[in-house]
A and B are shown apart, each in its own frame.
Chain A
Amino acid sequence: MPLIMITIFGYTFGGDVKNIDVCVVNLDQAPANQSMAGAIISELGTRDTLDIVRVYSPSDAYLDPVAIGREKVEDADIWAIIFFNETFTQDAAAIAGDGTGQSALVRLIADGTNPNIVQAISNDILTAIRAVLGTSAFVVPISISTDLVYGEGARFIDFFAPGVMGLAAMMVTFMLSIISFIHERTTSTLDRLLTTPVTEGEIVAGYALAFGLVGLVQSIVIILTAVALFEIQIVGNPFTVLLIIFVFGAGNQGMGFLLSSLAKNEFQAIQFIPLILFPSLLLSGVFWPIEAVPAFLRPVSYFVPLTYAVEGMRSIMIRGWGMGSIWPEFAVLVIFAGIMLLLSAYSLRKRR
């Protein structure tokens, strides 16, 4: 177990951000073999930081690729659109030659929800530019202008806050549930409950309600503290955030309930905690974006419920989205909670 933990930790912690989905719009009119934009794009293509989903060329101009690209960023289908204008090579050559004319400009229209990702994209573009110009280039005749779709002025704390809330909600509901349920079993209060008219479903629902509320109260405290002390921004509706926490908390309660029914005593139950907590902590995008999780571990990320809770909350708090846009994440959490609670009730019934 510790071995798995250290391995995951080693691969993820401080890992490079990779496979960021972007689109490129290249309207550069220089001939293909001389186009500096073309060279930069193919250089970007050889590197693994960015996954270029599509390159729009001048022949796509009638589509208004910038508008299309911006829309894709707004929908969070891609993280950014990288835009080269018609005179890109010409501008770059001019400024490199006699230092006149305007500097060639790479325009970056990015989703600022995650400052790490924006940073990684512009760094990668810069690296690609340097590679194209050669190491000898003294002056870089190209500059990058970044235009954020979401998260204008977002700092790392804004990115971090939803993650912390999700993680805290998970810890308190999951751990309390696993411990209190094992306690309920070892002290036989569960036996007593099961001989009353209360049904298994009612016991599980009661637990879910209670722990959902615990998660909720905790999140309210976190939100208020974060707003008061760190002035985090909440663009969207905070109540939708709380709804996510409630459902997520109930799901974790169910998971704790289930796992504790597999354990014979407190000591065994406690060992389940890191088993669940570590993958969630490292793979769910709390501290770093999923894009920084190594590709072979990323499928695991999509099995971690916290991933969806954090993603949903980030979309609300930074992007300002509502239920209409985050419903897929919300649906995953509802399904998670539903399955966990049903299985819990079933496991109680089977005990008899």
Chain B
Amino acid sequence: MSGAGGGKGTKMTRMLEGAGDIVRTHRLRKEFEDLVAVDDLDLKVGPGLLYGMIGPNGSGKTTAIKMLVGLLRPTAGKAYVLGEKVPIVDNISRIGYMPQEMAIYADLTVHENLELFSRLYSMDRELFEKRERELLKVIDLSDRRDALVSQLSGGMKHRTSLACALMHDPEVVFLDEPTVGVDPELRVGFWKYFADLKARGKTVIMTTHYMDEAVRCDLVGMMRLGRLIGEGTPKELMAMTSTSDLESAFMTMARKVGT
């Protein structure tokens, strides 16, 4: 039981405030000079869920994710991941993060990238080899294991990046636009894998702007101008707005909020 039972009072309080939820934020806010990127965001994501954040570019999805994984300091508000206040330290190896950009080393091979990240998590050799085989199958790159990343197509790089984020089998994984540039056939494979992760009790928090994908999420948070304008299961959201797809649901929600 990592993190729990620490003797310090502050730690106990921290644990209690975010207890039970994988991610919990309270009026989380990020301002960049004159821009409010995330505006008093209240999020609550329980364990074993596929949570999708949807919204147009500039709606604050990436900024929110970056605060949760500890790359950006919130201007105000609170955020807890795995019960620990961000930026998390004790539980850092229990999360995985896939940035929007490629974020892998182009002059290393696929295998070397995976190995590097496994080492950063102090994984032992045997476990690494097992995980590598498994993940290479998911991203369909088993035959390109020893290819230099710089020689891969954009989609392949993207898949490698996803595999790096999942290497250490994290309990919660933050994926920023994981399916961009991934062809439809493989995307189906990805979703199968996400469902698999979920079945194993893992939590997936992802951003996307493919509305048709978001339908597959358990919970969808609609973001616009840094605010959460609607949240619920895809069905609830469509029912609430009397629409038949998430895209229209989003539009209706946006009109309702005004602006």
Contact = CB atoms under 8 A, between A and B. Distances in A.
A198 B105 contact: no
B99 A191 contact: yes
Contacts of A136: none
Interface stretch (B23-31, B89-97, B127-135, B234-242): B89-97
Nearest to B103: A188
Contacts of B92: 195-197
Nearest to B102: A187
A352 B99 contact: no
Given A187-B102, A188-B99, A189-B105, A195 B71 contact: yes
A196 B113 CA distance: 14
Interface residues of B, number: 27
B55 interface: no
A345 to B, nearest CB: 15
A194 interface: yes
A195 B93 CA distance: 8
Contacts of A191: 66, 71, 97, 99, 103
A192 B97 contact: yes
Contact of A187 (B70, B73, B101, B117): B101
B104 interface: yes
Which bracket fits the contact residues of A?
A: 10 to 19
B248 to A, nearest CB: 34
A192 B72 contact: no
A195 B65 CA distance: 12
Interface string A237-260: 000000000000000000000000
A193 interface: yes
B99 A196 contact: no
A194 B71 contact: yes
Contacts of B164: 192
B120 A193 contact: yes
Contact of A198 (B104, B106, B120): B120
Contacts of B73: 352
B73 to A, nearest CB: 6
B86 to A, nearest CB: 9
A352 B71 contact: yes
Interface string B152-185: 0000000000001100000000000000000000
B193 interface: no
A188 B101 contact: yes
Nearest to B122: A197
A7 to B, nearest CB: 37
B191 interface: no
B69 interface: yes
A195 B95 contact: yes
Interface in A163-181: none
Nearest to A196: B120
B57 interface: no
A192 B93 contact: no
Contacts of B101: 186-188
Given A194-B71, A352-B70, A189 B103 contact: yes
Contacts of A187: 101-104, 106
Given A188-B102, A188-B103, A191-B103, A196 B121 contact: yes
B120 A194 contact: no
Contacts of B102: 187-188
A352 B89 CA distance: 13
B105 A195 contact: no
B100 interface: yes
A194 B96 CA distance: 11
B18 interface: no
**Which 7 pairs across A and B sit closest by C-beta, in order of nearness?**
A188-B101, A188-B103, A188-B99, A195-B97, A196-B120, A197-B93, A192-B103
15 contacts: A188-B102, A193-B120, A195-B70, A195-B71, A195-B92, A195-B96, A196-B92, A196-B120, A197-B122, A198-B120, A351-B71, A352-B70, A352-B71, A352-B73, A352-B87
Interface of B: 66, 69-73, 87, 92-93, 95-106, 117, 120-122, 164-165
Given A197-B121, A352-B72, 4 more contacts: A187-B104, A187-B106, A195-B96, A352-B87
